[in-house]
Amino acid sequence: MFNIILFGAPGSGKGTQAKLLADKYNLHHVSTGDLLRSEVTTGSQLGLYIKSIIDQGNLVSDQLIFRVLEEYIIRHKDNTEGFIFDGYPRRECQCAALSGILSEWGGDVNLVLLLEVPEEIIIKRLLNRANLEMRVDDNIETIKHRLDIYVETTMPAIEFYRKWHELRLDTYGKKNGEFHAIDNSGDDIFETFNAICKVIDSIKS
């Protein structure tokens, strides 16, 4: 199993890169945002509750997102060479939860990627996406709120993995995975994709 976590602010291009990577390396793309939105479209009571949280740009509870994620992993683990996580972890406590569930099947986090994009470009891209996809959470006020949550809540999770990689070995002497930050401020998605592929190929070879 080869498991990747893809970090980046909302609008940094995680979904686009995750799809390309999933195709090339036979991985399953797990977008927690998409999983939640698909629950919303069922119109269930839970879906309505999730919608009210997402529309305001807030995070759903750790228990709820973990349940959704766990169910997805269990359903797909036997027919994939690994997962690419897009949207999880988003809080520091979710890092341990992810390692816990992967280790149940002998898996681990092999690579952590951070897509770096300056805030002005992020805001432009998200406003553009709002026109194309009509996402209720892509308006200027909610975008700013999601960016604040990213800085305050998700960045500590990213720093956890940066340090985890620098430590090299975990408490049991097992080698920790790689951490790489990749610039994704340009307009050419394949330039970024190729840079990521180089990193993956160097780890896998």
Site residues, ligand ADP (CB under 6 A) = 10-11, 32-33, 36, 53-54, 57-60, 65, 87-88, 90, 94, 146
In 3D space, the residue among 127, 136, 78 whose CA is nearest the CA of residue 107 turns out to be 78
Are β-strands 28-31 and 83-86 bridged in parallel, bridged antiparallel, or unpaired?
A: parallel
Smallest distance from ligand ADP to CB 36, Å: 5
Smallest distance from ligand ADP to CB 58, Å: 6
Smallest distance from ligand ADP to CB 47, Å: 13
The residue length of the chain stands at 205
**Residue with Cβ nearer ligand ADP (64 or 181):** 64
Distance of CA 44 to the CA centre of its chain: 25
**Residue with Cβ nearer ligand ADP (130 or 203):** 130
The secondary structure of residue 61, as a DSSP letter, is P
Q: Which residue is nearest to ligand ADP (CB)?
A: 33
Decide: 129 and 11 in contact? Cβ < 8 Å. Answer: yes
Smallest distance from ligand ADP to CB 1, Å: 20
**Residue with Cβ nearer ligand ADP (58 or 202):** 58
Smallest distance from ligand ADP to CB 174, Å: 25
CA distances from 145 to 104, 111, 139, 183, 199 (A): 35, 28, 10, 23, 32
- Give the number of other CB atoms < 10 A from CB of residue 173: 6
**Residue with Cβ nearer ligand ADP (149 or 200):** 149
**Residue with Cβ nearer ligand ADP (36 or 196):** 36
**Exposure of 104 in the CB half-sphere (CA atoms within 13 A):** 9
